[in-house]
Amino acid sequence: MRKLEDTTLLLLVVAVSLAFAWILWPFYEAILWAAVLATVFAPLNRHLLGITRRRSLSALVVVLIIITLVILPLSLVAAALVQEATNLYQTIQSGELNFGQLFQEFLNALPSWATDLLSSLGLTNLSAMHARLSAAVIQASKFLAGQAVNIGKGTANFFIGLFLMLYLLFFFLRDGASLMRRIRDASPLRQDQQRALLDKFTVVTRAMFRGSLLVAAVQGALGGFIFWVLGIHAPVLWGVVMGFMSLLPAIGAAGVWLPVAIYFLATGAVWQGLVLIAFGALVIGLVDNLLRPFLVGKDTEMPDYLVLISTLGGISVFGLDGIVVGPVIAAMFIATWDIFSASRQETESDTSP
């Protein structure tokens, strides 16, 4: 009878939990980013709590700091990005920016061996390359430009989501310790297993935010700055692209600035190419090596191949939220299997004669 009651209770808990997750799903982005920001800024909240001795006041101060340092700068960048994307789309449509002409100038400046190599790879078909480049840039610019209309139409939903995220963030910061204590009390896992999973989630979340997103933002800002100095079209747009590329360990921001530098050198703009290569290698390239160990620490990094696969997979499933969700799921996957393996080894050692 006791076993039947326990099974029924477990099924009830699972069913109610799934129903609760279902009704919360429309707001998963607000909940996700509130949890991420609360995890990242928890040390600051604890520090302020030691000064103010008031949980509500310290949580409110942290929320105001996040609005000032994170949300407002992102809003300004997003507005400039949409404006530049709209202008770039209009420039391409009007014919003022002709990728075919730029590509032809690049081919004419190459030595014969490089031209022969590109020809063998089928990359010298001017009309095809022009069509591909124009289509890719037009689609990307059209998408970003269209976001202005979508944001305008969904202004109410956007501000509702933002308000909900900040509202939840305040309570996660203020009541985070008691919430985690209730979760630990209800969890059937042992204390050491709970601690291992929580530590892994905390470490990876902070690592992705501070060691990946912050580094990507710095590299993107530096890349956009040097593009603006050199007079390249849409520096904010290219800076954002470099920021996203820097999240991919196998590619990095060099996937954007290096081809541009090669184009400068091939078309005779030698000093621009040399400046871009020097700045990209000595400034943008060193940001990752200098900032990431300081912000994250050596013992919190996942293998580059796992970060790459989980980031791309997360983006394909969750959109931009997958930048954080993908690596966190991968890290929790590894931690869960480590706990399972350790548990099996303990069981086998206990049952062995």
Asked if the structure places residue 11 within a domain, the reply is no
Residue 318 shares a structural domain with residue 336: yes
Give me the number of domains the chain comprises.
2
* Pair (194, 213) in one structural domain: yes
pLDDT tier, 342 (very low <50, low <70, confident <90, very high otherwise): confident
Half-sphere CA count of 308, side-chain side, radius 13 A: 10
Same domain, 80 and 225: no
pLDDT at 350 over 80: no
> Is this model's pTM higher than 0.85 or not?
no
- 12 domain-assigned: no
Place 153 in a pLDDT band, splitting at 50, 70 and 90.
very low
**Quick one: 42 and 69 in the same domain?**
yes
Q: Are residues 34 and 177 in the same domain?
A: yes
Q: Are residues 295 and 203 in the same domain?
A: yes
What is the extent of the structural domain holding 196?
189-343
More confident residue, 136 or 303: 303
Looking at the structure, tell me whether residues 221 and 306 fall in a common domain: yes
Pair (202, 290) in one structural domain: yes
Domain assignment present for residue 352? The answer is: no
- Of 162, 186, 210, the position where a domain reaches its end is 186
Same domain, 225 and 182: no
- Contacts of 29 by beta carbon, 8 Å cutoff, 6+ apart: 161, 165, 321
Identify whether residues 105 and 221 lie together within a single domain: no
Quick: pLDDT tens for 280-311: 888 888 877 777 666 655 545 567 677 778 87
Share of the chain above pLDDT 70, in %: 71
Residue 18 maps to a domain: no
Picking from 156, 186, 216, the residue at the C-terminal end of a domain is 186
Q: What is the rounded distance in angstroms from the CA atom of residue 238 to the CA atom of residue 315? A: 19
Q: Is the dihedral of CA 27, 29, 30, 35 positive or negative?
A: positive
Angle (nearest 5°) at CA 104 between 103 and 108: 120
- In this structure, are 211 and 127 located in the same domain? no
Do 212 and 253 reside in the same domain of the chain?
yes
CA distances from 113 to 33, 117, 263, 268, 312 (A): 51, 6, 16, 18, 35
**Element containing residue 306 per DSSP (H, E):** helix 304-318
In a domain, 15, yes or no: no
pLDDT of residue 88: 67
